Amino acid sequence: LKRKIDAGATRAITQFFFEPDTFFRFRDDAAAAGITQEIVPGIMPVMNYASVQRMSAMCGTAVPPWMAHLFEGLDERPAARQLVAATLAAELCRRLYAGGVREFHFYTLNRAELSYAICHLLGLRPRTNAQEIAA
C-alpha cells in the first residue's frame, strides 16, 4: 500500500472482510506506517457461504466461524440468504461508521437489489424529484 501511495494514489479501497476490527487494525497499521490517505473499507455482502469461503481462501481473507451458522440450512432459500446478507453487511457498515468510517465500497457482484436493500437498512434513500428540485 505504501508503494502505491508513494506513486500517487490518493486513497485506497480494501479487499473485503467481515469483522470491523480487521479494518480498524489495518487502518491503524497504515497510519503507523505514515499513510495518511483515506482507506475505504471494501464490503462484500455474502449471498452464498460456500462461494465466499472459496473466494476468501484465494485472497487470504478470514471468514469468521459464526458466519457458517447464520447460513446453515439456507442453500435452497435465496430470499432468506439475501435477508441475512443485507443484515450482516448493514451491521458491518454501522459498526465501521461508529468507528469513524464515512465512506464504503460495496463489491456488489452484479446484485444491485441487494446493495439497494443494504443502503435502505442504513437509512440511505434515493432523492425524490422534490428533493432534487430543492437542492
* Confidence band, pLDDT 50/70/90 cuts, at residue 16: very high
Whole-model pTM: value is 0.87
SS (H, E, C) the chain: CHHHHHCCCCEEEEEECCCHHHHHHHHHHHHHCCCCCEEEEEECCCCCHHHHHHHHHHHCCCCCHHHHHHHCCCCCCHHHHHHHHHHHHHHHHHHHHHCCCCCCEECCCCCHHHHHHHHHHCCCCCCCHHHHHHC
Which grid coordinates are listed for 61?
481473507
Which CATH number belongs to the domain containing residue 23 in this structure?
3.20.20.220
42 - beta bridge partners? 16, 105
* Confidence band, pLDDT 50/70/90 cuts, at residue 131: low
Q: What does the CA dihedral 15, 50, 111, 71 come to, rounded to 10 degrees?
A: -110
Mean pLDDT over all residues of the chain? Answer: 92
Expressed as residue numbers, the domain containing 7 is 2-134
* Confidence band, pLDDT 50/70/90 cuts, at residue 112: confident
Residue 6 has pLDDT above 70, yes or no: yes
Number of domains in the chain: 1
- What is the structure's pLDDT at 27? 97
- Compute the Cα dihedral for 45, 50, 56, 61 and give only its sign: positive
- What is the structure's pLDDT at 128? 73
